[in-house]
Each structure stands twice: as structure tokens, then as C-alpha cells.
Amino acid sequence: MTRYFCTYFDRNYLTRGLALYRSLQRACPSFELWVLCLDTVCYRVLSQLQLPGMHLIPLEELEQSDRQLCAVKGNRSLLEYYFTCSPCLPSFVLTRHAYVDRISYLDADLYFFRDPSDLFDEIEHSSIAIIPHRFHPTFLDREQFGIYNVGWVSFRRDNPGMACLSKWREQCLDWCYVRCETDRFADQKYLDRWPADFTNVAVIQHKGANLAPWNVANYHIRHTGNGVYVENEPLIFFHFHYLKQVNKWVYNPGLAEYKTSLVRVLRDHIYVPYIRTLRDAEAEIHPMLPPELACRGEHREVSTVEDEIHLRWTISGVAHSVRNVAGFWRGVLVGDYVVMHE
């Protein structure tokens, strides 16, 4: 059975988007992935690659078909505008392609380690599917940003599914900002109300779905001959949120932000395979980048929500720089970083 996914990213997330695609190629027997290309560099590079099963949507095409989306572009930051696109993209795909019976939005920094069939079996009879953050008890206060994570959201082409997607789109068009209010935060906190407001909503329970820095400390993670297991369930996909490339060889998984250690199973069987895929993707796209981007080597990534929040806590640019340097050496000393020797 063919699975239908959509995602979006710009040139700063090109390698992550390609890593997501490559992981689906290996893990999912049959899939189609619609990619909303958020800038021309992203669209140009992916067009040259001509990847099977990947359908490209230039941002301009989405904006031309959704004038309400385009109308709010001027009163939001770039990141906030990207978040506003979250419900508009699956809505666009379902409107344009009648054969798509269920569309699943994926964040570009996900990576599949196993066929997601178990997840689709779990949500088979649902109209809407969402996945909890499952924050470690130490970080339950972060539920103020949303009980559920937008990393995976699925909608079936039926009345409840389409009604939910339509309302989410209307809400994000009306308000989608990187600040926390009572019942809203960016595109994410709206999901909190879905189980109460809509019928046939599945809350995914599989422990191996959306394993992430904020919840990995909840579980015993082990590696066997059959792959990585989260307690007694196989790891299906990991959310590589907060992963940063420090320099050519060193990567910061961001686990320390959640007071989690980079234990061997995480390093060797989750982060290292993903980083290798990122490096392969970097080598693949490098010849296609414009000279002014190709000469940079390492590319700056678009800010995440947590990046913006973190910057608000910084007193000044100098303090931020000092904190970064101190944090780097602390990470080296305590083994927080992945060092690639190849």
C-alpha cells in the first residue's frame, strides 16, 4: 500500500529533507512525498535530483492557490510564516490529488529507521492522528507549548479529517506566532483541543514513534540484531530536533538541553547513522548549490522555536558567544558531542 506524506523546508534544511526522503526510501516499501520548497535554491536543487516519488511544490504555487496564506505573509516573521504553512500544505495536496486517501505531514528533521506500517495499523480506522510529546517528567512545564507535537499529523479524506484540517488552517491563518498564550502557541498548541473537538481522533501510543531528545530519558533504549528498540517496541522514527553541527567533524545532539546523556546506543545506532546520511546528502547537493552558498561549507539552519526562546533568555550577543564557547568545552569534556572521524 502506498503511503502519502508531505513536508516543507528551505535551503538551510536541504540535507535534513534529503535524509528524511532517503530514510523513507529504505524503510517504506511504497510512498509519495510532497515537498513544499520554501525558497528557489531548494526547488532548483531538488529539481535537478529528480528523486522518484518526490513531488515538488514551489512556495509561489501554494501562495497563488491560497491567497489567504499569501495575505498574512507580511505580518509574520519568516519562521512564523513557515509554521502558518503547516496546515495549508496537506490541504493543498488533498485538494489537488483526489487519489490521496490520507496525508501525513512530517517535520523535515524526522528519520525513519523502520517501516511505519505499525503506525498506520494503529491509526487505520481514525480520521485524525496526532502524537504526544511525552515529555520527561522533568520538563512537563514545556507542555505549555503543546501536549502534542506537529512532527507527525495525519488526516484522512473524510468529514472529521477534512473539518479538522480546515479549522487548523483557519486558526493558523488568523494567529500563528512564536509566543505562548493561554490556548495557542505557533501552529502547535491548537492540537491540544482536537481529541475533545473532533471525532475519530487517534493519539498514537507506539513508543518507537517520535522518539526525541525531550522524551528519550523516559525509556530503556537497546540495540539488537533486529535494530533499535524502545522498551519492547521497535524504533520507527526519531525526531532529530536541536541537532547542531559545531564544526566539520563535531555535532551537538542537543541532549544536554534536556539533561539527557549521549549513551552508546543513542550515539552509535541513532545519531551516527543519521549524521552519515546528512553528510552524504551534503556531498550530493554541494555541486548544485550557487557559488556563494557552496563556498560556505557548513550552512546556517533556519531558527527553531526553541532557538528563538533561547535567544530571549540571553542578556547580550557577547554573553551569548561566551556561553557558546563555555558550552562547547563542557560538551567536549563530558562527552555530549558526536565526533565523526571519517
Q: For the whole model, what pTM was predicted?
A: 0.90
157: cell is 479524506
| Rounded (5°) CA angle 80-147-103 | 65
| Distance from chain centroid for Cα 177 | 18
Decide: 222 and 229 in contact? Cβ < 8 Å.
Answer: yes
Could you tell me the residue ranges of all domains in the chain? Answer: 3-240
User: In 3D, which of 213, 222, 31, 7 has the Cα closest to residue 119?
Assistant: 31
Classified as helix, coil or strand, 146 is: coil
Tens digit of pLDDT at every position of the chain (342 positions): 999 999 999 999 999 999 999 999 999 999 999 999 999 999 999 999 999 999 999 999 999 999 999 999 999 999 999 999 999 999 999 999 999 999 999 999 999 999 999 999 999 999 999 999 999 999 999 999 999 999 999 999 999 999 999 999 999 999 999 999 989 999 999 999 999 999 999 999 999 999 999 999 999 999 999 999 999 999 999 999 999 999 889 999 999 989 899 999 999 999 999 999 999 999 999 999 888 676 554 433 444 444 443 333 333 343 444 444 444 444 444 468 999 876
3: cell is 503511503
Q: Return the amino acid letter for 31.
A: F
* pLDDT of 291: 80
Decide: 92 and 57 in contact? Cβ < 8 Å.
Answer: yes
One-letter-per-residue 3-state SS of 164-191: HHHHHHHHHHHCCCCCCECCECCCCHHH
Going 311 to 316 to 321 to 326, the CA torsion angle's sign is negative
Q: In CATH, which superfamily holds the domain spanning 3-240?
A: Spore Coat Polysaccharide Biosynthesis Protein SpsA; Chain A (3.90.550.10)
Half-sphere exposure of 29 (CA within 13 A, CB side): 3
Q: Which helix (H) or strand (E) holds 284?
A: helix 272-285
Question: What phi and psi values does residue 228 have, to the nearest 5 degrees?
Answer: -85, 140
